[in-house]
Structure 1
Amino acid sequence: MFDEKKTFREIELLGGESREIQWKNFSLTVPPTVYPPREDTDLIAGVLEKVTPFGKKRLLEIGSGSGALSILAASLGWEVEACDINPYAVAATRFNALENTFHIASAEGGIGPAKDGFYSQWMKPGSYDLVVWNMPYIPSEEIEEYLGPMEDAALVDTHPSGLLNEFAEMTRRFHLISPTGIALILCREYIGLHRSKDVLLSKGLATQTVSKRTFDDDETIQVLAVWHPFLKSKKQQMHSIPSTNSEMLEGTYKPGDSLRARFQTDGKGRHGRTWDDHLDSFKGSWKLNPNQIPHISSQLQCQVALEIASLLQSMAPKPNVIRVKWPNDLLVRDGESKQWKKAGGILFQSLSRGKEQSLVLGIGINTKTTAEVQGRGSLEEIGIDLDNTELFTLLDTVVSSLFENRSNLTNAPDRNSDLNLKLLLRQCIYRNEKCSVKGVSSEGELQIESERGGFYNISDDLSLLWPHLQPQ
């Protein structure tokens, strides 16, 4: 990556003059090769300012650069530690902190392209309430001209498996945030064909976009909040039960609690349909906060289904093998006929007793292929090998990401956010006209356009036919 010419250039840069800049209310000295505050810094700073210090108020910034975010965090009441793999950034962070009357412990190190010593050199594993990282998010394969090792360390992801993947592994093992902590990371919205979110979800971490910005070239960067899902909630498993949804609605469960069963004798789908059960399928329910009841809509059902579909597609060995049929059915592509087969679905149910209300989310997915249910698909058919326990871990992260409230940053799903419409089944028939799906309205109606140019908003899925859906 770095030849002799680029190394000499780096040495020349180090002899240059430092810059004096003003950022927010802080005066900063930025030496050569040290990352200064930029638009991405402002984006993550805007989120940081909304987080009230909690727990023991311990914060770690990875890749501190000039120290701007660390100094801001200290001014907000956090006890801050910082690290950077660039020794000049470490010195800049220490100097700028003192110049702005703050003490910040700053160490050389961090998550980099290779292990450099022990983690304990630059952090105290698993002890932080908040971890902040403006992550180098430009893949090395997109770089035609490298500047130098220290300059590129703040911009270019040179880790063999990707810095986001390494961060997720460390977080999953409780090496960074405490069990009740949160991480705020700035990264690209997509890494290749897959969402950055799906990298985190696949590691069993809950995540939600809390801020983002799209540039003129359509590149989107985002700040993700990351946490361990439903850590204090009860996760229960039963062998046989009439319905996991009914049990959770009528039982003494708290929001975040979950229940799964090996077999359901009276499972239900939408429109009162019976769920044909077998042992090679996942059946689970999550208790949700009843204050979400007014927000339950076809759009929200579709959003849950699309989040699950996006995660599973990122794990499939082949592209374009998962779709969502509006509003809530998960489909897989048949390898021979190329038609779509239902492999699962999601269902919200609520119950009111006087002033008491309950809300649950039920999810059913076929994990294995079985002859017991003709016309149904499974994850196994598209090369995803998960048992029900592994699938539960993934679904738990999706549900937590959408519905668990963490430090006023992560609330119910943002109903104004863009749905991943690429995964919606597109071709349908309405009133004997061939139509294509264009989107989902904020009220949850399916927006379709006919071949003759007519536009329709559909609220009842029974009024549609799907020509590429295999009969069940």
Structure 2
Amino acid sequence: MYLFIQVNWGTRFIVTLIALPGVYAPQDDTALLAEALRSEVLPPHARVLDVGTGTGALALAAAQRGAEVTAVDASWKAVLTARLNARLAQLPVEVLKGSLLKPVADRTFDLIMANPPYVPAPSTTPGRGAARAWDAGRDGRLILDRLCATAPALLRPGGVLLLVHSALSGEEQTVGALRAAGLSTSVVERRAVVFGPVLRSRQTWLEARGLIQTGQDKEELVVVRAERTR
């Protein structure tokens, strides 16, 4: 069964998306990253990469602005979903299957967007099935650390990385890692949101780990912006 989602991120981008079962549908983190994208000034014919594209919502938002967009996802269902949504929206988006940046390791970009798995999980291994879209090891940094280590090399001079994740996963670590890679880095968006089903199911475990306070039922989402200035 398909899931139909209407995305309305400002008057210039309204689109109805289709999500196949098991594909991460746009949520608060997607919307927050879309806000950061709207604030970016893109050069003409900007080359944009959307990592972990899911339904392709952010890739389509960039393509609607005239960017040359490539989207990557490790899930075949997500790849097929993003390709279908690009066709329905009549927007040119190249959608590739692969792990993080591997399919585009020989390219560079003016803008890289990423909404990776970042939810702390009892298991030290990546999630399976739908959980691949959110489970990221015991500290939530299983994928974040890999992105921070590899994405800077794919940025052109003046290029920007926009990375969204939960503050539970350590925003200071993300900012520090990207600054260490030579990027000018700051948190540009924040939003407090009520725990969804996954975090609610792990509330006791998160409390025991000291990642949240007793009775806490909200998390803060952040968008980290990192620019290659030289």
- TM-score, normalised by the number of residues in structure 1: 0.40
Task: Write out aligned runs for 1:266-345 (5 A).
Answer: none
3-state SS in 2 of match to 1:139: coil
CA offset at residue 147 of structure 1? Answer: 11
CA offset at residue 101 of structure 1? Answer: 0.9
State the match for 2:143 in structure 1: 163
State the match for 1:132 in structure 2: 113
State the match for 1:188 in structure 2: 166
State the match for 2:42 in structure 1: 53
* 2:96 is the alignment partner of 1:107: yes
Return 5+ residue gaps in structure 1 as ranges: 1-16, 113-118, 232-472
Counterparts of 1:98 and 1:55 in 2: how far apart (Å)?
23
Task: Write out aligned runs for 1:238-257 (5 A).
Answer: none
Return 5+ residue gaps in structure 2 as ranges: 9-13, 195-216
State the match for 1:224 in structure 2: 224
CA offset at residue 170 of structure 1? Answer: 0.9
Counterparts of 2:157 and 2:107 in 1: how far apart (Å)?
8
3-state SS in 2 of match to 1:40: helix
Pair 23,194 (structure 1): closer, same or farther in 2 beyond 3 Å: closer
3-state SS in 2 of match to 1:138: coil
Counterparts of 1:190 and 1:37 in 2: how far apart (Å)?
20
* 2:31 is the alignment partner of 1:42: yes
CA offset at residue 196 of structure 1? Answer: 2.8
* Residue of structure 2 aligned with 1:90, choices 76, 79, 82: 79
* Residue of structure 2 aligned with 1:203, choices 163, 181, 202: 181
Pair 108,168 (structure 1): closer, same or farther in 2 beyond 3 Å: same
Pair 182,62 (structure 1): closer, same or farther in 2 beyond 3 Å: same
Counterparts of 2:114 and 2:97 in 1: how far apart (Å)?
15
Pair 204,148 (structure 1): closer, same or farther in 2 beyond 3 Å: closer
User: Which residue identity does 2:64 align to in structure 1?
Assistant: S
User: Which residue identity does 2:99 align to in structure 1?
Assistant: G
User: Which residue identity does 2:76 align to in structure 1?
Assistant: P
State the match for 1:152 in structure 2: 131
State the match for 1:442 in structure 2: none
Counterparts of 2:50 and 2:58 in 1: how far apart (Å)?
8
* Residue of structure 1 aligned with 2:157, choices 179, 184, 191: 179
Aligned residues: 202
- 1:183-242 CA-to-partner distances (Å, cap 9, x unmatched) read 1110223535954322322333321111111234342111111122x41xxxxxxxxxxx
- TM-score, normalised by the number of residues in structure 2: 0.78
Counterparts of 2:56 and 2:177 in 1: how far apart (Å)?
28
